[in-house]
Amino acid sequence: MAVPPDNPSGPFEGPEKLLEIWFAQSPADVPFTPNVPNGKFGLRAIPQQTWQDMLDIVKCKILSVVEGTEIDAYLLSESSLFVAPHRVILKTCGTTLNLLGVPRILQIAKDAGLPSVYRCFYSRKAFMFPDRQPAPHRDWKAEVEYLDAIFPNGSAYTIGKMNGDHWLLYLTNPHYQSRSSSSASGSVPGSPTLDRHLSAPVDFHNLHHRMSYDAQQDYTIEILMTHLSATARDRFFPCPSTLHLVEDDPTAHAKELSSAIGITDLFPAKLTTLDAYSFSPCGYSSNALIKYNEDAGTDPSHCGEGYYTIHVTPEEGWSYASFECNVPLPPHLSNATASVKPGNRAEIPDLKTLIRRVVRIFQPGTLTLTLFISSEGTSNTDDDEADSAVELAQRAFKAALTSPVGCDKPTCGVANGESDCDFNRVYRRTDKINYEFGGYDLAFATFEMCT
* Interval 92-111: pLDDT, tens: 999 999 999 999 999 999 99
285 included as an active-site residue = yes
| Count of CB atoms situated within 10 Å of the CB of 267 | 23
Alpha-carbon distances, residue 172 vs 21, 155, 418 (angstroms)? 10, 6, 49
Point out the catalytic residue in the list 137, 311, 315, 436. Answer: 311
Tell me which amino acid residue 148 is: D
From 287, 321, 327, 323, select the one nearest 303 (Cα to Cα). Answer: 327
Secondary structure of residue 434 in the 3-state scheme: strand
State yes or no: is 79 an active-site residue.
yes
CA angle 379, 294, 47 (to 5 degrees): 95
Tell me the CB-side half-sphere exposure of residue 331, using CA atoms within 13 A: 23
Selecting among 26, 285, 319, 388, the annotated active-site residue is 285
- For the residues 18-27, what does the mean pLDDT come to? 96
Catalytic option among 20, 78, 93, 407:
93
Query: Would the pLDDT of 418 be above 50?
Result: no
* Lowest-pLDDT choice from 207-216, 350-359, 383-392: 207-216
**1-186 against 188-451: fold identical:** yes
Instruction: Tell me, yes or no, if 258 is annotated catalytic.
Output: no
Active site annotation includes 93: yes
| Burial class of residue 194 in the structure, from the number of CB atoms within 10 Å of its CB (0-12 exposed, 13-18 middle, 19+ buried) | exposed
pLDDT score, position 178: 45
Does 188-451 carry CATH code 3.60.90? Answer: yes
CATH code at 1-186: 3.60.90.10
List the chain domain ranges: 1-186, 188-451
Question: pLDDT grade, residue 241 (50/70/90)?
Answer: confident
Residues 34-64 as b/e (b if ≥16 CB within 10 A, e otherwise) read eeeeeebbbbbbbeeeebeebbebbbbeebe
Residue 64 a catalytic site member? no
Residue 341 has a pLDDT of 52
- Between the ranges 194-198, 208-212, 341-345, where is the mean pLDDT highest? 341-345
pLDDT at residue 398 is higher than 50: yes
| Residue range 226-232: mean pLDDT, rounded | 97
Q: Mind listing the pLDDT tens digit for each residue in 133-149?
A: 999 999 999 999 999 99
Q: Which of 77, 79, 212, 258 is catalytic?
A: 79
